[in-house]
Structure 1
Amino acid sequence: MKDAPTADQRDVVLALPIETLQDMAIRAYMRPPDRLLLTLLRSPRVRRVVVAEPFRSHLGTVLRGGRSTVLPPSGGVEGHLVSPQRWRRKDPVTLPSLRAAYRRYDRRLGRAAARAGCKRPVVITMYPPLAGFADMSWAGSVMYYARDDWATYPPLRRWHPAFRHAYEEIRRRRLPVIAVSRPLLERLHPTGAGLVVHNGVDPAEWLRPPSPPDWLRRLPRPWCVYAGTVDTRLDLDMIRRLASAGTVILAGPIPDEASVRSLRLLRSVRLPGHLPRPAVTGLIAAADVCLLTHRSTPLTEAMDPIKIYEYLAAGRPVLATDLAPVRGIGRRVRLLRPGDDPVAAMNEVLIWPAVTEADRLDFVADNSWSARHVAFLDFVLGPAAPAESRLLAVQA
């Protein structure tokens, strides 16, 4: 039976960046927007949540057969979904047209929030054009949640100037900003309030990780596992060098096949592509070494990779490029500085003592999404009563 709403519960509008609810479901709700949605739907501090998908084209909707994804189960929070549509598939590139597009989106979102019964809701947006260009006078407050620096994301290079203009507008409007890393928050340089809330892990996945796929056991050891999108972030030279001394498994979707063509020629590199979530967690837990071998770029120098928290939650030693956001995360991270030999570093971590199960589980608890989101919700909704904070902290 649903509890009666209380006077201090808030209405929240969560505006997704470029992914839909269906995208979240496909990847098993494991990225920052996904986990925030689950927290909001289960929080005793929230009365209702309006989830706003990004613009989608009418034609694309027809080609998909008009299928839509339902919201995940809530803990009594009232959930609503709005999916604005338009004829064009991609955002306009010119600044005036982009401003106009997100002002139209703003008006649709305001009407949807009103239909849902929202009263001066808190709006959380993760997309710079919406945060910077939409008026949102119907909202009680607006907050920008920065998970990456969009103005450095290579696939959206055509929109980089517009993203930078949006950042300027966020500063001009003194919007509060939550960023996933200190370097990202400093780069955005908000003039309103700012907070760093790192990414986290789901304890349900890491208390007893599943077995790895059967094919892993047929590969020579050591097993060096990278879990994530296989794209231009990867340092391919480092991958080749590690593959000379072990088997490298790059487990994740491959947006551009041309970027990995040379790796497919190496017998000791495996590219299984997108895998079910249990297969990914099983691979990580079985790895001899986990990899965060990114190139140093403006994008990677500000990101907070979820994978490094997952590697440590599994108790595995990690080889990671020396980037500011990954320094100090854990003692079982071997940073690779310019000139370091990755094979020698791998041999070094392979003889590290195993982590104790108590220490591993402490890391999982300390870095859980629910623990992270206590500070997040306090920042967005105002400080909670102590009992409410304790309740959120123990929720899975």
Structure 2
Amino acid sequence: MDVVVTSLEAWDTVWRRNQHLVAGLLRRDPTLRVLFVEPATDPLHAALGASQPRLGRGLRAGPALDGIRPEALWLLEPTKWLPRRVDRRVDERWARQVLRTARSLEMADPVLWVNDPTGSLLVEATTWRSLYDVTDDWTLAERSTAETERVIAQEQVLLARCDEVVVCSPALAVSKGAVREVTLVPNGVDTAAYLVAHDRPADLPDGAVAVYAGTLHGDRLDVDLCAATARALGGRGHLILVGPNALATEQRSRLESAGVVVLGARPSAEVPAYLQHADVLVVPHVVTPFTDSLDPIKLYEYQAAGGPVVSTPVAGFRDVVDERVVVASRETFASAVADALTHAGEAGLPLTDPDRVAGADWSRRVDQIVQVLASVHARGVNS
């Protein structure tokens, strides 16, 4: 079977849901081939901002991965030359490039796995069997009116026409399940990575540390709360942010001025070390309809690491029954982190406890996706 994945995230060293699931599938089935379509680069937007502009890398073989045969994984990184307001056919050009690339790989009748809603154009342009994997409700994110209307229109196509719809959170199961039948496949964790005691990362400051691990994005991270928390810690410890930085330059400046240590992205294989050596694990997220739609991967990672957690009342953390997790309001969050940092280690709890999330191992999620893909594939065979 061939699968074309339209992903919201690039295939890099920071592994997220798509990479864990796709790699797991490729290891299970040596005959499977995957074309993984990454987000397009945007040289013009980068040139107007603080980033270094570059062209997309186009089609290339995926990296060498244990247990996956060469040429089973292909990556496609397109280039977005102009904004949609200037080039109204930018998404159509993207879809045609994906189709040409699939044909060049002799993928005549692949299963389409849509994570980026732009994949709706491929649903409309082909007879490919299709799966819509909803990991974020972008219809609820704060965007321009034009962008919101575009995403809503694309999702309407996906919910109406895809053979299967998978959601990652109970909230999404309710909202999307009101429209059609969906399958809940939550996020997970690589429990094996937490069975090993890792050395303290050299770039962690000396002394007590409160650590956040995840993409630094204004849709999720409460920048003002992070700054207030760092100031509340004073000389007692540091607030550390580990993860890809998608913040505006002004937001990062505010964080660093308040004393927040922004480390940036680290390979997923290194993240367990940061979590194991955190005195407190924190989730300073905004609470919005968008964040309420999420199933935070960090919930499972934090539980596997085993340390105390302080979180704002966001989905996942506010619902979990766990004596290590303290849910604090925005008003009390900073003091709760300071208090947890002061008393870290007094409870005598184990520092690493991956058995607590064994049922959420990515291998279990791959089992579920295998069943969904088998259902999608069977529709073509039986039609």
| Contact 2:26 2:68 (C-alpha < 8 Å) held by counterparts | yes
Cα 1:65/1:137, change in 2 over 3 Å: closer
For 1:122, the equivalent position in structure 2 comes to 111
Corresponding position of 1:177: 165
- In structure 2, distance between residues paired with 1:188 and 1:296: 20
Residues 278 and 106 of structure 1: is their aligned pair in 2 closer, same or farther, counting only changes over 3 Å?
A: closer
Once residues 314 and 164 of structure 1 are traced to their aligned partners in structure 2, the CA distance between those partners, rounded to angstroms, is: 37
Aligned identity (percent) is 24
Q: Distance in 1 between matches of 2:275 and 2:35?
A: 32
- Aligned alpha-carbon RMSD (Å): 3.6
Shift of residue 239 of structure 1? 2.4
Q: Is residue 103–residue 133 contact of structure 1 (8 Å, CA) maintained in 2?
A: yes
1:388 maps to which residue? Answer: none
For the Cα contact (< 8 Å) 1:224–1:248, is it kept in 2?
Answer: yes
**TM-score (ref. length: structure 2):** 0.79
The answer for the alignment partner of 2:120 in structure 1 is 131
- Extract unaligned runs of 5+ from structure 2: 45-52, 377-383
Give the AA of the match of 1:37.
Answer: V
Task: For 1:365-384, list aligned pairs within 5 A.
Answer: 365-382=358-375
Change (3 A) 1:169 1:313: same
Structure-2 separation of matches of 1:354 and 1:171: 48
Written as runs of structure 1 = structure 2, the 5 A alignment for 1:142-221 is 142-153=130-141, 159-173=147-161, 175-189=163-177, 191-216=179-204, 218-219=206-207, 221=208
Whether the 8 Å CA contact 1:170–1:190 is kept in 2: the answer is no
What is the aligned partner in structure 2 of residue 295 from structure 1?
A: 286
Aligned to 1:50: 34
Deviation of 1:40 after TM superposition, in Å, equals 1.6
1:26 paired residue number: 13
Residue 318 in structure 1 maps to residue 318 in structure 2? no
Q: Which amino acid aligns with 2:274?
A: L
Q: Report the counterpart of residue 347 of structure 1 in structure 2.
A: 339
Equivalent residues, number: 358
Q: Does 1:236 align with 2:223?
A: yes
Preserved contact between residue 130 and residue 162 of structure 2 (Cα < 8 Å): no
Equivalent residue for 1:248?
A: 239
Q: Are the counterparts in 1 of residues 212 and 282 from structure 2 also a CA contact under 8 Å?
A: yes
Q: Give 1:364 deviation, angstroms.
A: 4.1
Q: Compared with structure 1, are the counterparts of its residues 104 and 276 closer, same or farther at alpha carbon in structure 2 (3 Å cutoff)?
A: closer
Name the counterpart of 2:264: 273
Report the Cα offset of residue 129 of structure 1.
2.2
> Does structure 2 retain, via aligned residues, the 8 Å contact 1:99–1:134?
no
In structure 2, relative to structure 1, the CA distance for the partners of 1:58 and 1:247 (3 Å cut) is closer
**In the TM superposition, what whole-angstrom CA distance separates every residue of 1:79-133 from its partner, at most 9, and x where no partner exists?**
15263756x43563599736644653564365346x14x5x43321111121366
Give the structure, 1 or 2, with the largest relative contact order (CA under 8 Å, sep 6 or more): 2
Question: CA contact under 8 A between 1:201 and 1:369: conserved in structure 2?
Answer: yes
